[in-house]
Structure 1
Amino acid sequence: MLILGIESATHQVGCALGGHEGVLASAHTARGRRHAETIVPQIRFVAHQARIELQDVGCVAVDLGPGLYTGLRVGISSAMAMAYALGVPMIGVSSLDLLAFAVRHTNRLIVAAIDARRQELFYAFYRQVPGGVQRVSPAEVGTPDDLASELLATSEEVLLVGDGAHRYREVFAQLQKIYIAELDLAHPSAASLVQLAHARALREEFVKPWELRPIYLRVPDADVNWKTRHSR
């Protein structure tokens, strides 16, 4: 089965195509908040690179978050529109799962951390398991100091991955046994999305487009700003 993956949880947008042969083509761009202008041309580019007709796609996978609200909304809406147009099922994957999967070969405890703005992070803990990673804590939202306190409570070596780890590097650099993954792994990967979705597709873990539930973890910035203005 061919899978189209769409990822847009951070300021980076990614698309990929693949299936049982692996990832056939992928592309990522970072153009500020221009997600809506980027996704459709990127899908066409990836399909051309893979020499695939979109009509041959059998499933659309999408990053459900947590992440930046506007990016998630655009990515999920675009993925749903593609699934409806093609008449195919969908698979949703957490952005934190995608970050952790990219460093699955480490023996260290993995912590995926996405910059949530407002001086906060979205994060979760993972361990390596055969073939991938397993989440061992619920996804949370907290300050860098909150996460640092949790890291201090563990005696294990930890691999931090994600743009949140780099944004607040100075907070974590002073901790012992804490390592930060390379900058090129700081954003969720559309290629990882296709790989994880393919494994779920083999188990027929599909959902209908209207069954998708974004993972926001907190109230969007726009709602907070609106309430702040009107409370004044």
Structure 2
Amino acid sequence: MNILTIDTSTIVASAAILNEEKLVGEVIINHQKKHSEKLMVAIDHLLCDGGLSIKDIDVFGVVAGPGSFTGLRIGMATTKGFAQALNKPVVGVSSLESLAMNIPCSTGLICPVLDAQRSQTYTGIFHFDQGRLVRDMPDTVMEIDDLIKELQKYPGDIYFLGDGLPRFSEVLLKGCPQGKAVPNYLNMNRASSAAALVLERALKGEISHYRDVEPVYIRPSYAEENYK
């Protein structure tokens, strides 16, 4: 089963092809957020270098959010276009869950932190149990002080990662002395991490029609809030 997964939820544009045997290839572009210009070219190179065509893809995966509203729409539209044209299923996964997959089998809690602006973060809490990722808190948007209060309830190590760390790491580590910021190379969203989740769910038959997969924004946009 060949799976093509796209992640454009942050400034990082990433695509990966994964099957049951191996990671066929991955493209990561971590420079400026021009996903509409870069994504299709990256996917084309990825397919060519992997000796595949788009028709060889059995399931399309997409990181559905939360994250950049524009980025999510680009990734979702691209995925739905492929799935519709080829009549293939789609699996949507969480950007925060995907981030947690960057540090598999780690001990302690994993707390992805994406910058949601307005002194807020998109976040969740996870841990690994016998190699399997387990969710401890739903994806949410929180004030950083409220997140610290929530994490102070947990003993033991807490691993922080995500594009919110440059902004929030100092206050997070001060409020949670047991916390650890992961190295920079583990700190960004990767389509291969998301693809592992997509493959796991596809093998269980947890797939969707392209019409049924939508972006997960969690909160309304500035424009929507101002309109109200």
- TM over 0.5, shorter chain: yes
* Cα deviation code 1:78-117 (max 9, x no counterpart): 1100111121100011001101111122111111111112
Q: Which amino acid aligns with 2:213?
A: L
Whether contact under 8 Å (1:23, 1:194) holds in the other structure is no
Structure 1's consecutive aligned runs of 4 or more residues displaced over 4 angstroms after TM superposition are none
Q: Which residue of 2 aligns with 1:50?
A: 50
In the TM superposition, 1:1-232 aligns within 5 A as 1-174=1-174, 175-224=176-225, 226-227=226-227
Aligned-residue offset at 1:221: 2.9
Whether contact under 8 Å (1:22, 1:195) holds in the other structure is no
Structure 2 gap segments, 5+ residues each: none
Q: Which amino acid aligns with 1:190?
A: A
Secondary structure at 2:113 match in 1: strand
Provide the alpha-carbon RMSD of the alignment.
Answer: 1.4
* Cα deviation code 1:114-148 (max 9, x no counterpart): 11122210001111123331111111101221111
* Cα deviation code 1:151-176 (max 9, x no counterpart): 22222221112112332111112131
Q: How far, CA to CA, are the matches of 2:138 and 2:119 in structure 1? A: 20
Q: How far, CA to CA, are the matches of 1:59 and 1:36 in structure 2? A: 22
Aligned-residue offset at 1:183: 1.5
Q: Which amino acid aligns with 1:4?
A: L
Q: How many correspondences in the alignment?
A: 227
Q: How far, CA to CA, are the matches of 2:144 and 2:50 in structure 1? A: 40
Q: How far, CA to CA, are the matches of 1:144 and 1:73 in structure 2? A: 26
Aligned-residue offset at 1:7: 0.4
- Over the matched positions of the two proteins, sequence identity in percent amounts to 28
Secondary structure at 1:106 match in 2: coil
Q: How far, CA to CA, are the matches of 2:222 and 2:32 in structure 1? A: 17
Q: How far, CA to CA, are the matches of 1:36 and 1:118 in structure 2? A: 26
Structure 1 gap segments, 5+ residues each: none
TM-score (norm 2): 0.94
Aligned-residue offset at 1:23: 1.0
Secondary structure at 1:163 match in 2: coil
Q: How far, CA to CA, are the matches of 1:61 and 1:92 in structure 2? A: 6
Q: How far, CA to CA, are the matches of 2:91 and 2:16 in structure 1? A: 14
Secondary structure at 1:105 match in 2: coil
Q: How far, CA to CA, are the matches of 1:131 and 1:157 in structure 2? A: 17
Secondary structure at 1:170 match in 2: helix
Secondary structure at 1:138 match in 2: strand
Whether contact under 8 Å (1:7, 1:189) holds in the other structure is yes
